[in-house]
Amino acid sequence: MADILPPVPWDMPPTSFEWTDWYAKLRKQINDASTDHNQLTNIQGGTAGEYYHLTQAQSTALATAENTTNKNAVSGYAGLNSVSRITKGVDTTDDVIVDLATKGLVLKDTAGTPHYWRVTISTLGVLTTTDLGTTKP
């Protein structure tokens, strides 16, 4: 049978033997009640040693989360896939660096049927614009 924790010794000074003894008994109760997380009963999902504290919604969101390798895919950009490549109102205090000779800064013109243009730079510092057509690259 488990030890029963005595009442708190309210009428004694905090540094008294009674308080020290009470804290020791409390610590023992807590330590004796502790158990290995994976030994708990009524654990849902997973196999032994693979139990996690997620709600169903969190588990679903995690399972459908964007794979980080997509940022390096042809259709990927900054960790977003080709469907969700919209970024609004991004301010930066740093340079935007394009570190690949075949890529550059892509801008959209304001024509009735707008075109996308890639701006690149030569080794002489000459800017070149290339019409990429009406489809976003």
Does residue 32 lie in a domain region? yes
Q: Can you read off the two tokens belonging to residue 92? A: 């930066």
Shared domain for 1 and 36, answered yes or no, is yes
Angstrom distance (rounded) from CA 120 to CA 127: 6
pLDDT of residue 14 exceeding 70, the answer is yes
Structural domain count of the chain: 3
pLDDT of residue 96 exceeding 80, the answer is no
On whether the CB atoms of residues 119 and 128 are closer than 8 A, the answer is yes
What's the residue count for the chain? 137
Residue 128 is part of which domain span? 92-137
Amino acid identity of 30? I
Residue range 41-64: mean pLDDT, rounded = 70
Task: Report the predicted TM-score, pTM, of the whole model to 2 decimal places.
Answer: 0.36
